[in-house]
Structure 1
Amino acid sequence: MILQISFFELQKQFKQHGPDFVGKLQSQYGDIFRVKPPFLPPLYFVVDPQVNYELLVKQSPPLAKPKLIRRATRSSFGNGLFTSEGALWRSQRQLMQPVFHHGRIGRFAERMIHHTEQWLAARQDGEVIEIDTEMHTLTFTIVVDALFSTTGADTAVVAQALYDLGAGLNAQSKSVALTLLPEWSPLPALRQKQRGSQTLARLVQAMIAERRVIGEADSPPDLLSMLLFTRDAETGEHMSDQQIQDELVTLFIAGHETTAVLLAWIWVLLSKHPDTVIKLHEELARVLDGRVPTLADLLQLPITASIVKETLRLYPPAWFIFRELAEPITIEAGTMAAGSIVFMFPYTVQRDGRYFHNPTTFYPERWADGFERNLPKGAYFPFGMGSRICIGNGFASMEAQLLLAAIAQRFHLQAIDEAQIVSGVTTLGFAKSVRMRVNKR
């Protein structure tokens, strides 16, 4: 079916109603429908697991991100994994994949716990915090340490650069006009974005130069060193300094936002489900007995893991994914023309009652007994799927589980405010900060 709608009305509905708007369209038009704004390429909205799987996993070569998005983000991300395509993307993904192997990212578990313990030590019994702000601060500190081994005064400089860059990108996500304008335009949002991007670039360039001088043996074991000294298995070549910079900035932007949002939603959901909290506390007491969690403990914490998985189901950090078709693709419902842009919606599919019983209910127990293996392919994809699945998904999941375990065994967090989803951007954050009271256990 075809939905005739102006682009401005489509943008308005996305801004004001976000995921609810897509759900209403699905109920009216079905699981696959075409949206045809005048003067723009066809848009396809897909909320069908089988088609999701076909498009993201089985298509070869992988579908590309839309040109408009790549244009808007290239000045910030360069040719990192987020924006690159074709042979460059394949080469970079092949080089970087071993860096994110479970065995290598596991070395960061101790640092995650170190920073979490510092955060916990600063908490006061009965204190009221803004949970989204606090989780952003904590995950920011962790990702800066993981990427650059940077702490103290340098972190403040990085924080300001990230804030400037993020504010500009956020403004572009809400305005097509800002996306279409040249990056050198003198508008405040674009100038702020450029300022942040240029500052980050200078910082990363200086770090790369320093590491090249001191060499691999004396460099700290962080992600910068891993990328800097990684060689292509076939050619023996290293990444160029520019490519390392692009990848680090990409990882930097993505490496704390999604995990911070995930953790904030976890605390909000647990605040509403005391029965789940009791089960979590029992598991932590049985396995940890008061000590700090380690990477090895995660295998013994299935309830902790299921809380993370269930939160990702209800509130996937990116609630939609989009791709551009370089050539026509035929699916059961018909043929999608070359140049079409396809939107896929983890949020909507993962709340579909055909695949999940009581789909809007927070019920971590559903993930027991191999539940995920019996789901249709393409029904659960909070980090995407296929060859372009988020390369840091293992890092994010490990971080979320460790931080959940470390914090939950020391404090109980109770929401004071009702959480409301922010509309109009890809990340499912809060419309306004959510206050929570922190009580010692």
Structure 2
Amino acid sequence: MQPPSPGLLRFIHGVRKHGFLAHAGQLWREHGDVFQVRIGSKALVFAMHPDAVEHVSVSHRQNYDKRASYDAVREYLLGDGLVASNGELWRRQRKLMAPFFTPKGVQAYAELMIRDGARLVERWQALAGEGAEVEISEEMTLVTASIILRAMFSSETMESIHQMKDAVNTMITFVDTQMMGFRLPLWLPTAKNRKYLAARELVQRSIAGLIALRRATDESQWPDDLLSRLMKVRDEETGQVMSESLLRDESITTFFAGHETTARTMTFTWYALAAYPKVAERLHEELDRVLGGRIPTTEDLRQLPYTLQVVKEVLRLYPAAPFYVRDAVGADTIGGFDVPAGAAVMLSPYYTHRHPQFWDDPEVFDPDRWTRERESGRHGHAYHPFAAGPRICIGNNFSLLESHLLLAILAQRFAPRLRPGFTPRWVMQGTLGLADGLPMVIGAR
């Protein structure tokens, strides 16, 4: 049985009028948990139910991979990095890199997170005194970019951090434009092409230079960062190390995945705390009681459960990746509907996390959803902010630790306020974003 379909023209009109994110929600409410849009011979299948997440990501995962839907990401941004690779290459790289991103493995970077959080405290103290308005997403992007670049490359200068952040963000923006509509060849000297090529050259040249510098230095002198670990790790079966191109692609992938999504999560956290003052009050009470004004350590995090519950609820209501795609290798059935080979299956944390069958008052921001008792009774795939199954984001432990620490460091001292009268407008721009940004005043508590 074919899934219900709104028709291509209606879909295009709805996306233009309301945006992809909002229109997909309208179609879900109208057509149910599985519906499709035909774009020529291509089927775009939306699957919102947690059972579909389990089906695609776990029980029938052999039939779903990252194929044509990720061509632009591979070509223009991540190459063969872990996020976009597939098949045997992905399995080998995932096995090599997984030990660096376990809950224990990411503890090695906690001190970087704490140090950069403390630096942001100093900056915000000055801003709080001035009463100046800032774009909070820029504040969060800079701190998360700094953390991942120091963790990845031991980068210390703010100039190098700004350059790499801006260049990768240019590449991300370019990829978003290439995934929709007709692609102009890169050799055409358009302004967008020139800006993208300059950014790619800067990123690739910088990483190649860092690798060459390490190769020219005795291994015993290498810093203990992620790049060194990637350069040293060997395939258990072949004994081979990563090629230069794979080191570059995994470095770009780690930076892209390691700063943008966490920056979005932290940005949306400040919005939620400003919009839900009772949540902020409970958070502040826990931080004051446990920390008493001091910078937290990783040992303190066990005593800050409500702080982590706030982060988890942000990831539920405002997941940085509102949709992700898996390509059907062969024909299949999802939720009783036919899925043809080659279909792009759109799984949606944004709407699965709002499914009324699995969440009470799903639009309400409620960190108490994340008590152990309430979590234990929930469908195992009703919550998938980092995707699910073997292809769950390898950096999820890094992101959760970073968000937990940064929130604990900053929220005990500051309570950013929304611009009076400001109403956020949520949009999907590859990742979840705010169409008009998030202007806030950094107020001291």
What TM-score, normalized to structure 2? 0.93
Task: Report the Cα offset of residue 8 of structure 1.
Answer: 8.6
Residue type at the aligned position of 2:106: I
Q: 1:352 aligns with which of 352, 355, 366?
A: 355
Structure 1: state its 5+ residue gaps. Answer: none
Q: 1:168 aligns with which of 156, 167, 174?
A: 174
Task: Report the Cα offset of residue 31 of structure 1.
Answer: 0.8
Deviations 1:218-271 (A, max 9, x none): 111111111111122333321112111100011112211111111010000101
| Structure 1 pair 189–419 and aligned structure 2 pair: CA distance change class (3 A) | farther
Matched residue, 1:147: 152
Q: Distance in 1 between matches of 2:122 and 2:335?
A: 56
Matched residue, 1:10: 12
Matched residue, 2:443: 439
The answer to whether residue 195 in structure 2 is matched with residue 192 in structure 1 is: yes
Once the two structures are overlaid, the 10-residue window that deviates more, 216-225 or 233-242, is 233-242
Q: 2:380 aligns with which of 355, 377, 382?
A: 377
- Name the SS of the counterpart of 2:415 in structure 1: strand
* Mapped contact 2:67–2:86 kept (Cα < 8 A): no
How do residues 187-266 of structure 1 correspond to structure 2 at under 5 angstroms?
187-266=190-269
Q: Runs in 1 of length 4+ with deviation above 6 angstroms? A: none
Q: Distance in 1 between matches of 2:292 and 2:38?
A: 58
How do residues 4-403 of structure 1 correspond to structure 2 at under 5 angstroms?
4-6=6-8, 9-10=11-12, 13=15, 16-37=18-39, 39-61=40-62, 63-123=64-124, 124=126, 125=128, 126-152=131-157, 153-173=159-179, 175-178=180-183, 181-403=184-406
Task: Report the Cα offset of residue 72 of structure 1.
Answer: 4.6
Task: Report the Cα offset of residue 408 of structure 1.
Answer: 0.6
| Structure 1 pair 18–270 and aligned structure 2 pair: CA distance change class (3 A) | same
* Mapped contact 1:413–1:439 kept (Cα < 8 A): yes
Task: Report the Cα offset of residue 377 of structure 1.
Answer: 2.5
CA RMSD of aligned residues (A): 2.0
Q: Distance in 2 between matches of 1:249 and 1:330?
A: 36
Residue type at the aligned position of 1:278: E
Deviations 1:95-122 (A, max 9, x none): 1111112222111111111111111112
Q: Distance in 2 between matches of 1:272 and 1:382?
A: 22
* Mapped contact 1:62–1:387 kept (Cα < 8 A): no
Matched residue, 1:430: 434
- Name the SS of the counterpart of 2:319 in structure 1: coil
- Name the SS of the counterpart of 2:254 in structure 1: helix
Deviations 1:349-376 (A, max 9, x none): 1012211111000010111133222211
Q: Distance in 2 between matches of 1:250 and 1:115?
A: 21
* Mapped contact 1:326–1:338 kept (Cα < 8 A): yes
* Mapped contact 2:77–2:172 kept (Cα < 8 A): no
Task: Report the Cα offset of residue 411 of structure 1.
Answer: 1.2
| Structure 1 pair 127–120 and aligned structure 2 pair: CA distance change class (3 A) | farther
* Mapped contact 1:415–1:435 kept (Cα < 8 A): yes
| Structure 1 pair 19–60 and aligned structure 2 pair: CA distance change class (3 A) | closer
Q: Distance in 1 between matches of 2:99 and 2:439?
A: 39
Residue type at the aligned position of 2:296: P
| Structure 1 pair 438–319 and aligned structure 2 pair: CA distance change class (3 A) | same
Structure 2: state its 5+ residue gaps. Answer: none
Task: Report the Cα offset of residue 70 of structure 1.
Answer: 1.8
Residue type at the aligned position of 1:144: L
- Name the SS of the counterpart of 1:34 in structure 2: strand
Once the two structures are overlaid, the 10-residue window that deviates more, 307-316 or 294-303, is 294-303
* Mapped contact 1:184–1:191 kept (Cα < 8 A): no
Q: Distance in 2 between matches of 1:297 and 1:4?
A: 51
* Mapped contact 1:421–1:428 kept (Cα < 8 A): no
- Name the SS of the counterpart of 1:306 in structure 2: helix
Residue type at the aligned position of 1:167: T
Once the two structures are overlaid, the 10-residue window that deviates more, 382-391 or 237-246, is 237-246
Q: Distance in 2 between matches of 1:200 and 1:344?
A: 31
Paired residue total: 437
Residue type at the aligned position of 2:354: R
| Structure 1 pair 264–42 and aligned structure 2 pair: CA distance change class (3 A) | same
Matched residue, 2:424: 420
* Mapped contact 1:75–1:183 kept (Cα < 8 A): no
Task: Report the Cα offset of residue 14 of structure 1.
Answer: 6.6
* Mapped contact 1:99–1:227 kept (Cα < 8 A): no
| Structure 1 pair 15–229 and aligned structure 2 pair: CA distance change class (3 A) | farther
| Structure 1 pair 83–115 and aligned structure 2 pair: CA distance change class (3 A) | same
Once the two structures are overlaid, the 10-residue window that deviates more, 306-315 or 102-111, is 102-111
| Structure 1 pair 332–166 and aligned structure 2 pair: CA distance change class (3 A) | closer
Residue type at the aligned position of 1:36: R
* Mapped contact 1:49–1:378 kept (Cα < 8 A): yes
Residue type at the aligned position of 1:137: L
Q: Distance in 2 between matches of 1:317 and 1:228?
A: 30
- Name the SS of the counterpart of 1:322 in structure 2: strand
